[in-house]
Structures are given as structure tokens and as C-alpha cells.
Amino acid sequence: MSTTQLAARVAASPGQGAVRLSIVAMGLGYAITGADPTILSTNLVKVEHGLQLSSNTGSFMASLATLSLAATILGAGTLGDLYGKKRLFVYGLVGTIVFDLLAAAAPNAAVLLIARALVGVSFALLLGLSLAIVSASVPTEKRAGAIGTYLASAFIVSAPMPLIGAALADAFGWRTLFLVAPAFALVTLPLVLRYTPEIPATPGRPLDVIGIVAAAVMLVSLVFGISQLQGGLTSTSVVPIVVAVVAGAFFVWWEFRTAHPALDIGLFRQRNFSVAVAAGIAFNFLTGGLTVVIGYYVVAVKGDSTFTTALFFLPAAAAQAVSAVLAGRLVQRRSARLTMALGLAFLIAACLVYAVLRQSTPLIVLGVAMVLMSVGNAFTQTPESDLMMSSAPPEQGGSVAAVKSGIGQAFYSLGPSVMTLLVGGFFLARWHGELAKRGYSTEQADQALQTAQSSIEGHLGASSSLNPDLLNQIVLGAQNVLAGAISTTCLIIAVIPAVALLVTWLGLREAKQPRPRRA
């Protein structure tokens, strides 16, 4: 059965309204997987204090769901292909409800760690299957528009979820952080049961256990190693990345060798598929990295609160949702090539606006940069998703959607690590140079930096030996130097979407979509 025949068979049963509600439900599932870890990471201190966790245990707990998601994402997609995508997606929703409630009631660190690991497995089912369900639910010519609606639903729903989590934690305690995702899952579950069609499974194909395990080792090692890069090139970062490379090489070798691979590696030989992967790498890397840059700028340069950052994400998410719908229509009416090129151009523009931010720059300019980034993300991700799913054989739709998500997760994690290293390196070099002009040694410069950091964070005590005027000069100097380091970093990383744009324009071969006839 071809992809078109499968989509036609699925779409023949429910009405258009039911299909739209199913697509929105998939977007809700996608939103849960992105917002829940953000809620936890931004309120991590409350959880650490509540259960008296060490900072190391807290950091590991915060990343555990992401690691278990990476470990099981390909397995989730493959199991959905074999045993039913809707069924496994429902399991993911139920798991989110049960295991996040377990996390909320956790009496100790051990129970909380187990709960978060199982939450990550549930998220793998949601993230690995939602796009595959959307792709299989509509005819080929309507897939891009459906993906745009799916992404728009996810963007608009995920934006306020961290604010809701923070408000609940402040009002009722840290345990309520873990109630946000179950609440949204409870809303999503009846929509899926009622409106999502039964997509034919492809039983009989043996489960590629070796390939799935190799992919799990590769993704977990890669995500963990990347997360440790912010501490420099140490054994805790280098060894996992080396393991990931070895596991990845074995995975490719095994998938070529086995008769029933979890993923058809030959897909990467298709030009459109590979170009889509390259574009996905670019926008995920930038989105993850620039999100960290936003935090640096608002808190350390402007001296404002993280709540301000969260507020700026709301209009950006609204712009992103509208852009996803427009991008879906543009793919259908013109081409994925044009749409993706526009998205990457918006990302280049976002990098350039970030590069002009200074300590005195009005925050509205930051808002413009965030909107440009969000619009670029939507215009890039929509055709990327459409191109990758159009290449997927019907029996491997879940696997291809899972690979898309796995690659995105890895490079989204890489962005903050690389940009933190770049910003930190440029900052220290310029800081030492600035204070050297005033006659300070390297040791004195570092001591002044600690004083400035304490002052910015509001922790400076009365014991400081620096007079107030000099302290104000150092704080302002540190903020200006950090702004300059952010500017240099953003100019450098603008090369990434520029290269991706060139690859897209020269490498993507696609006929224009026929314009729909008017009645």
C-alpha cells in the first residue's frame, strides 16, 4: 500500500472537522513534551529545596526525562508502526498522567528519579508518533497544511505552560509543577480517543532490537555529552560523545546489514530528505542556543528577571503559530524550497538583530529578534517535516518521525553548549583586556568579575572592599562586555542558517505544488 493510498483510506472515514480536532490533539501532545521539561528546569531550585536534593542530583533529575526520551524515541516510533500509532500515542498520554502524578507525590529522590525517567518514555511515544499520525491522516497534497496546523497548535499551547507552572509552584508549592502536563494530557486524551482515526499498523515485520538499542546508546550518549560541554572538554563530555560516535557508526552498519531495519538508512541518499535534515539541524541548533542567549541578555546585561523573558515568549509564540499555518499554505501553493529558504532568511535576520543588542538597547528590540526567530523556526520546520514525511515508506512513518525528533533533540541540546562556550570565551578575553587597560592583573580582573556577578545577582554583602562608584563602573563594564560577547557570538552563528539557506536553494529539487482550483 502506497503512502497516498494509506492516507486516502484513513481520511475517508472521519469528517474534516474530526481530522482537524485530531491534528490539534497531536499538537497538544507535542506541546506537552516541550513545555514540561522547561517548567521543571526553570523551577528546579524549588524542587531541590523541597526534597533537599543536592545540586548535582537536581540537575540529573531535570535532564532525566530528556535522556530517557532520547533512549526510547526510535523504539517508540517503530512500535507505533508495528502495533498501531494511535494506541501507542494513547499509552503515552496515560503514562504522562500516571508518572507525572507519581513525581508530584514523590516522597524522596529515588521515586522522583524513577518517575521522571518513565515520563521521558511517555514523551517519546507522544513526540515520536504525533507527526506520523498527522502525516498519515491526510492526503499527500494536504499534508503540509496539516503539519502547519499541528505545529501552530503546539506553539500556541506550549507558550503559557511554563508561566502556569511557575504560578502554581509559587502559590501551592513545588509539587504542583508536575500537575501541568497531566492536566493538558487529560484534555488531549478524549480528543484522541474520539477523533483520531485508526491508522493501519504493519504487523509481521520483526522488531529490530539491536538497531533500536544502538540508536538509544547513540542518542543518550550524545545528549548527555553535549550537556556536559558547558564545563569544557573534560572526560565527562568527551567520553560520552566518543561512545555516541561509535554507537552511531555501528547503528548505520547494522541498519544496512539487517533484513528488517528499524530505519531505512537509504533515505539519507535522497537529496530532499538530506536537505531537510540539514535545515532541521540548523534551526534546532539556533533555537536552543539563542534561547540561552536571551536569558543571558535579560538577566545579566539588562538586570531584569526571568519572568520578563517568559512574557516575551508569548507574542513570539503567537507569531510562530500564525507563521506555521502560513508556511503550510505556502508549501502547498508554491514549494517547500521557497518556504524553507524564507524561514532560514528569517533566522539569519534574527541573529543579526541579536548582534546589535547592547546594555542600553530597549527591550522591544529583543522582542523583535524573538519574533524573527520564531517566524523563522515555523517557516523552516513546516517544510522540513513535510519533506521528511513525504520520503517515509508507509510502514516506517513512525520511525522517520522519531528520527526527525531525535536529531532535533540532539542539536537543540548542542546549541546552548556551543553558544555558552563562545559567549564565555569572548567575554573573558575582552574582560581581561578591558581591566588590563586600567592596570588590573588577571587575578584582580577575575576577582572584580566575581564582585560584579554578585552585585548583578543581588547577593553583594557589606564586606565588599570596593567603593560604590568603582563597583558601579565594574558592573556596567561587565554588562557592556557581555553584550559585546553576545554580539560577536550571534554574528558568528549567523553563518549556520546562511549555509543551510545555500544548501536548501541549490540542493532541494521539488516541483511546484499545483494551485488548488476555485469552486
The confidence score (pLDDT) of residue 81 equals: 86
**Cα–Cα dist 118/457, whole Å:** 35
**Cα–Cα dist 159/174, whole Å:** 20
Radius of gyration of the chain (CA): 23
Q: Of the candidates 189, 17, 23, which has an alpha carbon nearest to the alpha carbon of residue 97?
A: 189
The answer, yes or no, to whether residue 456 has pLDDT greater than 50, is no
For the chain, the domains span 1-205, 208-261, 270-514
The answer, yes or no, to whether residue 2 has pLDDT greater than 60, is no
CB atoms within 10 A of CB 255: 20
**Cα–Cα dist 408/431, whole Å:** 34
The answer, yes or no, to whether residue 326 has pLDDT greater than 90, is yes
Are the folds of 1-205 and 270-514 the same?
A: yes
Q: What CATH number labels 1-205?
A: 1.20.1250.20
- Measure CA 171 to chain center: 28
**Residue pLDDT, tens place only, 341-379:** 999 999 999 999 999 988 888 889 988 999 999 999 999
Average of per-residue pLDDT across 422-435: 75
**Cα–Cα dist 262/74, whole Å:** 8
CB atoms within 10 A of CB 114: 15
The confidence score (pLDDT) of residue 448 equals: 55
**Residue pLDDT, tens place only, 33-83:** 988 988 888 788 888 888 888 877 877 888 888 888 888 888 888 888 888
Q: How many CA atoms lie within 13 A of 424 on its CB side?
A: 11
The answer, yes or no, to whether residue 205 has pLDDT greater than 90, is no
Least confident of 68-77, 222-231, 251-260, 381-390: 222-231
The confidence score (pLDDT) of residue 453 equals: 54
**Residue pLDDT, tens place only, 104-126:** 999 998 999 999 999 999 999 99
Q: Who's near 118: CB < 8 A, 6+ residues apart? A: 68, 95, 99, 102
Fold classification of 270-514 is Growth Hormone; Chain: A; (1.20.1250)
